[in-house]
Structure 1
């Protein structure tokens, strides 16, 4: 297939390399242009995908979409408010789009933008992936390290009945299994990173502020893991109120890293032993807080208020991080155009898709 990958940080180029290694033609687009600067007609991949991988870069979105059979959006959640309107303006009605990860109801937010722009009711579905097809690190403009290719990524869709179709598309592109989820909210709640990252930031804030080097898996101590598990339990109760189940943190770590199941701190120690010292953030301007709180934990609180569900530990962690970072961490522009009262029908049918 001809795949358009939107986003050229680390995950976008790595996913592009994976798809190209499986025989697909890939075009890479960067929202700022910086991510594709220095890339010619190929990118050098190492790790789980290796070799000089051919791809094409696109100067603009219209060019990226031209002739494409499918698209993957892989940008940080904080980029959604600026990138989704640009996509809605030029997305071909028949082009299926996967969002990885589909944080904070981003597929529904895009559907609302498309409806507002008068997109036809019979437009292609939007795939909501619970996480990314790969984990990766960008080494230089022309090099990316693919740390891992995921064995499975949960898939939902807008409209919900299209999950199987979008799962088959993702499997064809990237090779991983796609367990199906009932609706796109599952993807917004399934990712374990907001919980793990928020607690790591909270418990290591002085290390971050002093720009120290610290091993994040090595510092998932029993005490830190207790807090993570409390947050995970509150998230599970919230998900259950919508009739969905999300993976526990242990299953998430097992899927992502292949370590045996067990107590969370022991799994983290096993990851540290197998992968070496994966360092945590060393600057206060870190996505562990600026992305994973507004589009993760604070998003859970927005949902919980609409359901009347208490989440006291989550509320306390968000408040503590706001105090430590000295900023509002609850602002989420994606939610402004969504009505909590009509959420379940919108998740099921999409927005503006009825003729």
Structure 2
């Protein structure tokens, strides 16, 4: 199958390697134009890590060129690029295609569904709770793939197209996907924001000074207790919407194959397996600039809608806004476009399941 990968960072490159190994035909489109520059002249993509090899991946000059003839479109950009990408691809998408958002946050699938509804088009938009690979760019034309997850939770907007969405995911990446209740459950299954917030707080000056520090090895008992306390807020919010989601311990066990226990113990077990994974060496990191406005803020908003206190999530937004001298509450460019203010918890949940059908 022809697969359009929107974004050519580490995750997009990792997907290209996996897809090519399964006989699919990936094509990149980079909204910044970086992929065209990196792979100019037909330079190959070189993979290291658990899936070493070299392959040629075509790079489209436009979103229309990438999407034309593609059976599946995978959005693999950071959350602060979602709006730009979705507004670029929405006019090009056509009946019969499936869109995957990897990984999903901040009602992104709902925003794309809204753009398509304005065209009178409805497609399976599949939201992933996390990425199927752990990978990073290694130089202009390289990718280092350090892991492939055994299970990824997914849901589709609208829910009634979830069977088609699940089939597309499995056709591309195998039987590693589990359907959850709906896209709201996927939003409430994103464990990166609380874990990243806690670890950045505990290692703030190390990141600011550009020091080497182990990402998982630095999740001490104190940092782990922050993660666990934030997890209790998230689980209470899910329960208010009648949803059951995995705990942070479940996430670690499924993602890394470590024994359940306190978060700090599980993180140290991951560190022993993956000591090469380092924390950010700057405060200008997606651990802050993506996870605060697009991870913490939407859960704070859902808490306000459902009447569930989210004090640690609120504190994280305020603390990192002060630390970074930025107004992170104003940096989420998706929430203002969804008109959630004034909706009840029941109405928000219905929207997450049905999209804009009949609106």
TM range (shorter): over 0.9
Residue 99 of structure 1 is aligned with which of 85, 98, 101?
Answer: 101
1:41–1:56 contact (8 Å) kept in structure 2: no
Tell me, in whole angstroms, the C-alpha distance in 2 between the residues paired with 1:161 and 1:105: 18
* Corresponding position: 1:76 with 2:75: no
Deviation at residue 105 of structure 1 after TM alignment? 0.8
Deviation at residue 270 of structure 1 after TM alignment? 1.2
> Partner residue of 1:211?
210
> Partner residue of 2:245?
246
Relative distance call for 1:277 and 1:45 in structure 2 (3 A) is closer
TM-score (norm 2): 0.94
> Partner residue of 2:13?
13
* Corresponding position: 1:281 with 2:280: yes
Residue 91 of structure 2 is aligned with which of 89, 92, 104?
Answer: 89
1:168–1:178 contact (8 Å) kept in structure 2: no
Tell me, in whole angstroms, the C-alpha distance in 1 between the residues paired with 2:50 and 2:212: 26
Tell me, in whole angstroms, the C-alpha distance in 1 between the residues paired with 2:85 and 2:157: 18
2:45–2:143 contact (8 Å) kept in structure 1: yes
1:96–1:124 contact (8 Å) kept in structure 2: yes
Deviation at residue 281 of structure 1 after TM alignment? 0.8
Tell me, in whole angstroms, the C-alpha distance in 2 between the residues paired with 1:200 and 1:229: 12
* Corresponding position: 1:344 with 2:343: no
**Equivalences for residues 200-239 of structure 1 within 5 A:** 200-239=199-238
Deviation at residue 41 of structure 1 after TM alignment? 6.2
TM-score (norm 1): 0.95
**Equivalences for residues 130-279 of structure 1 within 5 A:** 130-279=129-278
1:26–1:56 contact (8 Å) kept in structure 2: yes
2:292–2:316 contact (8 Å) kept in structure 1: no
Gaps of at least 5 residues in structure 2 are none
Gaps of at least 5 residues in structure 1 are none
Partner secondary structure for residue 349 of structure 2:
helix
* Corresponding position: 1:113 with 2:120: no
> Partner residue of 1:46?
48
Describe the superposition over 1:144-173 as per-residue Cα deviations: whole angstroms up to 9, x where unpaired. Answer: 111111111111001012223212211111
Partner secondary structure for residue 59 of structure 1:
coil
Tell me, in whole angstroms, the C-alpha distance in 2 between the residues paired with 1:267 and 1:51: 32
Tell me, in whole angstroms, the C-alpha distance in 2 between the residues paired with 1:48 and 1:239: 35
2:241–2:306 contact (8 Å) kept in structure 1: no
For the aligned residue pairs, the C-alpha RMSD in angstroms reads: 1.6
Partner secondary structure for residue 98 of structure 1:
strand
> Mean Cα displacement is larger for which, 265-274 or 49-58?
49-58
Tell me, in whole angstroms, the C-alpha distance in 2 between the residues paired with 1:227 and 1:2: 43
1:154–1:181 contact (8 Å) kept in structure 2: yes
Deviation at residue 34 of structure 1 after TM alignment? 0.6
